[in-house]
Amino acid sequence: MISHSPMYQEHPILAQPDNEDIKVWRYMDFTKLVSLIDSGCLFFTRGDKFDDPFEGSWPEKNVLEHQKISNKDQKEMTEKIPKARLSFEGWNKSSLMYYAANCWHMNEHESEAMWKLYAKNEAGIAVQSTYKKFEKAIAHEKNMRIGIVKYIDYETDSIDSADALSASFHKRKSFEHEREVRAVVVKRSVQGFYQEIAEAGLNIKVNIKDLIEYIYVAPNSPTWFADLVKAVLEQYKYGSISVKHSKLDEPPVY
């Protein structure tokens, strides 16, 4: 196992891979690659800015169970919690503004589906790392968690609610093709309260050379595009990072 700094938080309810050297991929367009190497930061999107309307939500069983508790302790809760945040739904929706996530695809091989979803043209890029390298890259950040997303049926399954961020590591079964690994960070004040994250999200500093193993250019991309990526890496002193063409371009052997 990786030796983490005191900043990093492991939690037993978060699923981890059997092999930490498994490859992880982040598919993006060329401009986002330039932003990554120019800033030296991974961008973490705020919870309420994801397209998935179920982001951070809890299954029906959890909601019903919480309602029982709320009804039982209604008087005590009213005294301790502002009315605007008394309802489970209201609190959970507002909590999306207090965490941010950075997501990768876990797979030993490239994914044609991910190329089409997140790097749609010939100027697409796939940054390839490993789970271990990704984990190590963000281990210095306080209040950071990393784990494998679990795909569940929100009508019949439930989520272990031992951690307030559990819901952010779950998605509907319709998204299983994403095979997602994500890191989630929250910000706390000196008093220990959650702090609202900037509207779009936040940047987390990482060591680019330690994080990235290879950069792949999209299927059918022209040679000049790969050369451009190499030139940009050289300009930013990352020339040691190898640039490869997508293996989906390789011809079959009949």
Q: In this predicted model, what pLDDT tens digit does every residue of 215-240 receive, in sequence order? A: 999 998 999 999 999 999 999 999 99
Radius of gyration (C-alpha) of the chain in whole angstroms: 20
- Give the mean pLDDT of the chain: 87
Strand pairing partners for 243? 215
Give CA–CA dist 17/108, Å, rounded.
12
pLDDT (0 to 100) of residue 3:
43
DSSP annotation of 197: P
- Given a contact cutoff of 8 angstroms between Cβ atoms, the answer to whether 196 and 99 are in contact is no
DSSP annotation of 188: B
Confidence of residue 4 (pLDDT cuts 50, 70, 90): very low
For the segment 111-123, what is each residue's pLDDT rounded down to a tens digit?
A: 999 999 998 788 8
Which 3-state string (H, E, C) describes 112-158?
HHHHHHHCCCCCEEEEEEEHHHHHHHHCCCCCEEEEECEEECCCCCC
pLDDT (0 to 100) of residue 22:
98
Q: Does residue 5 carry a pLDDT above 90? A: no
Confidence of residue 77 (pLDDT cuts 50, 70, 90): very low
Question: What average pLDDT does range 153-160 have in this prediction?
Answer: 93
Question: What average pLDDT does range 144-158 have in this prediction?
Answer: 95
The residue count for the chain: 254
Where do we find the tokens 């569940």?
A: 152
Q: Does residue 103 carry a pLDDT above 70? A: yes
Opening angle at CA 132, ends 26 and 139, nearest 5: 95
pLDDT (0 to 100) of residue 91:
64
Where do we find the tokens 């997303």?
A: 149
Orientation angle between helical segments 223-235 and 30-39, nearest 10 degrees: 10
Q: Does residue 69 carry a pLDDT above 50? A: yes
Give CA–CA dist 37/238, Å, rounded.
8
Q: How far is CA 237 from the centre of its chain?
A: 27
Confidence of residue 242 (pLDDT cuts 50, 70, 90): very high
The dihedral of CA 95, 56, 77, 84: what is its sign? Answer: positive
Q: Does residue 70 carry a pLDDT above 60? A: no
Strand pairing partners for 99? 186
